[in-house]
Amino acid sequence: MIFSSIVDYIHGMLIERYRDDGIKAKLAVISSVIINLSLLSFFKYSDFFILNINYLIGTSFDTLNLSLPIGISFYTFQTMSYTIDVYRGEAPVQRNPIALATYVTLFPQLIAGPIVRYQTVASQINNRKETIDKFAEGIKRFLIGLGKKVLLANNIGMLWSSVQNTPQNELTVVTAWLGIIAFSFQIYFDFSGYSDMAIGLGKMFGFDFLENFNYPYISKNITEFWRRWHISLGTWFKDYLYIPMGGNRVSKVKAYRNLFIVWFLTGLWHGASWNFVVWGLYFGIIIAIERVGFLKVLKRLGKPIGHFYAMFVVTVGWVFFVFDKLNEGIEYLKVMFGLNNVQFYNGQTFYYIINYGLLLIALIIFSTPFITKLHSKIMSKADGSLKILYENGVIIGFYFIILILTTAYLVDATYNPFLYFRF
């Protein structure tokens, strides 16, 4: 991080110095991008490259087994956004190296996102205001995220962990679906929980980070899903890769080429493994099909069918994401679709339904804007003493309960995975 901070501070100053000389300024931003991507590639993808070379040409080069610097995927994209934004004139150059290092090392979102672009916080680094109200708002947002992660994601994650550790010849069709649905909820509440905590911590320090999730599981198609899921990553790829390549303002062939390049790199960004590449291309193909005309078909079919389709495609996609070995993911898919002569259900299936049924219902509710809309409706209709009681009694009591429950869980629980360490 120190190296990245120094490199991009120097390059930002060079871009500013040679702003009137287009060639030198362009060379400076290209140099910054090359250094940042080389650093990321060396630490994250060197072993992946070596293993594939060994497989393709039969060599036996030793892997480097490097320790992955925590958060390197996130802060590399952030530092690149700084030099690119300065070059484009979308953000002022930062002349204080400590202030730029503050941006690079800003701990609330450093290791699990969202990806905070420099232009978003450029003015806030030196000119932000901390207030009691904003600090209180930050605490509330942090507690919501903590509750998502600890109470929801961790508990449903235990169901997925149990199913994942079951030999595949002992799984049933329904159990396999329950397992991957559990993972779908785990990764959503885990990741959106981290984003909420980061946004909350940011508010405590006077920063306003952009939202990273917008109820993606209510989507009616995959295009909509990716506008609602990990918004900061999707926006980064769109603004710094897809649009500069021409986006969809070029010929249809080039537009689809751009689409598949973006989704190939989106998958690879998530991890140095072919399953992530397949996962990225899987969604690239689906979005391409929707663009060709399937979106119009879905619109005619109606919202319920569109929603079912979106959740089916996303759930199947998580199989490619969660299994590092492609063959294991394919075998799991065979079980899901009953292609391995497995049972449809068994006693273990009912055990999971009985033990996790209520939690699954709660997760479905919390993954929609139902609670938010209910809160808004109560606030709009309540008045006088009833409104005061609701705000100062029910709401504060709700946050206090989350604090007590999450603290108790963290003290007692042994299952608390960090899904994003590989990033």
Residue 332 Rama label (left phi>0; alpha psi -120 to 50; beta): alpha
Cα separation, 200 vs 232, in Å, equals 16
SS3 94: coil
**Tens digits of residue pLDDT in 200-244:** 999 999 999 999 999 999 999 999 999 999 999 999 999 999 999
Cβ–Cβ under 8 Å, residues 200 and 145: yes
- Phi then psi for residue 54, to 5 deg, are -60, -40
What letter represents residue 99's amino acid?
A
| Average pLDDT, integer, range 81-87 | 94
Inter-residue contact 179 to 168 (CB < 8 Å)? no
Q: How far apart are CA 190 and CA 420, in angstroms?
A: 9
Task: Calculate mean pLDDT across residues 351-360.
Answer: 97
Q: What percent of the chain has pLDDT over 70?
A: 99
Q: What is the pLDDT of residues 124-145, one digit of tens each?
A: 988 888 899 999 999 999 999 9
User: In this predicted structure, what is the pLDDT of residue 127?
Assistant: 86
pTM listed for this prediction: 0.94
Rounded to an integer, the average pLDDT of 11-18 is 95
Q: What's the CA gap between 120 and 125, in Å, rounded? A: 10
Q: Tell whether the torsion through CA atoms of 245, 120, 86 and 268 is positive or negative.
A: negative
Please tell me whether the peptide bond between 114 and the residue prior to it is cis, using omega within 30 degrees of 0: yes
pLDDT at 15 over 80: yes
Q: Which residues of 396-423 are buried (b: 16+ CB within 10 A; e: fewer)?
A: eeebeebeeebeebeeeeeeeeebbeeb
**Among 118-132, 278-292, 299-313, where is mean pLDDT lowest?**
118-132
Convert the pLDDT of each residue in 166-189 to its tens digit. Answer: 998 899 999 999 999 999 999 999
pLDDT tier for residue 109 given thresholds of 50, 70 and 90:
confident
Banded model confidence at residue 409, pLDDT cuts 50, 70, 90:
very high
- Residues noted as catalytic: 270
Examine the pLDDT at 372 and tell me if it is beyond 80: yes
Whether residue 403 has pLDDT greater than 80: yes
Residue 423 pLDDT: 58
Cβ-proximal residues to 298 (8 Å cutoff; 6+ apart), any chain: 220, 221, 290, 305, 306, 309
Res 421: pLDDT? 65
For residue 94, name the pLDDT band (cuts at 50, 70, 90): very high
Q: Residue 175 belongs to what H/E stretch?
A: helix 173-204
Q: What is the DSSP string of 39-74?
A: HHHHHHHHHHHHHHHHHHH---PPP--PPPPTTHHH
| Cβ-based neighbours of 327, under 8 Å, separated by 6 or more | none
Given pLDDT bands bounded at 50, 70 and 90, which one contains residue 422? low
Is residue 331's pLDDT more than 90? yes
Give me the pLDDT at residue 129, please: 87
73 contacts 36 by C-beta, under 8 angstroms:
no
> DSSP string covering 375-422, please?
HHHHHHH--HHHHHHIIIIIIHHHHHHHHHHHHHHHHH-S----TTTT
Q: In angstroms, rounded to a whole number, what is the distance separating the alpha carbons of residues 373 and 377?
A: 6
| The token pair that represents 29 in the structure block | 């931003």
Determine which of 249-253, 276-280, 314-318, 383-387 has the lowest per-residue pLDDT on average.
383-387
Q: What is the DSSP string of 266-302?
A: HHHHH-SSHHHHHHHHHHHHHHHHIIIIIHHHHHHH-
Pure H helices in 89-165: 97-104, 118-126, 132-147, 154-164
